[in-house]
Copies of this chain bind each other. A is one copy, B any other.
Amino acid sequence: MYSFTEENYIKAIYKLQEKSGISVNTNAIAEIMQTKAASVTDMVKKLSEKKLLSYAKYKGVELTELGRKMALEMIRKHRLWETFLYDKLNFSWDEVHDIAEQLEHIKSTKLIDCLDEFLGFPENDPHGDPIPGKNGLIQRIELYKISELGIGEFGVISGVVNHSSLFLQHLEKNQLVLGKGIEIISKSDFDQSLRIKIEGGIPIMISNEVARNVLLKKSR
């Protein structure tokens, strides 16, 4: 059984490895873990002994297959809990992260698989990020900004680029919520604003600013 701290280190290292290539250095880990480099060295040695990552002094670390699998499990849990909070308990997009940060440490495979089923096997969390499957595979679904779609194309709102409360509240006020299907009606050559039709509603205008910050899964 792994401690919360160990789990958080693995998740942090996974994220760093995702964006900045193969080997992750001590200082970078210290920064996102809000701790000191010396502490990271200690922990990294421990995780290395547990075969979760490979580590050579002064050379940075790299997750093993075991570590990678663990990181994906954490991310799966995190995103499923976020989806639960958003879909079932009506939390807003910006409230879910901190609570999911706690919930992702709950140990029970059955719990998370049942939750997955209860939520209808969602493919993306409320921020549009893909939810890894039971097998540890990420099914990456191509998401497009509204502004990238052509006239006549259809899509389902699946995420956002800008996560600010102000923006999320603006979307909600305009019925632009997760899961809604929309169709591109026309684009203005003047200010790149768009006219779109929301599923079961009348056509509305949205600014290019909005169109560049909402992500769609193409449909039809």
Residues of A within 8 A of B (CB): 85, 88-91, 95, 98-99, 102-103, 106-108, 110-111, 114-115, 118
Contacts and interface: CB of A to CB of B under 8 A. Distances in A.
Contacts of A106: 99, 102-103
Contacts of A115: 89
B85 A118 contact: no
B118 A108 contact: no
12 contacts: A85-B111, A88-B118, A89-B111, A89-B114, A89-B115, A91-B110, A91-B114, A95-B110, A99-B111, A102-B106, A102-B107, A103-B103
A91 B110 CA distance: 9
A137 B108 CA distance: 31
Given A85-B111, A102-B106, 8 more contacts: A89-B114, A91-B110, A91-B114, A98-B108, A99-B106, A99-B108, A102-B108, A103-B106
A101 to B, nearest CB: 10
A48 B85 CA distance: 36
Contacts of A95: 110
Contacts of A118: 88-89
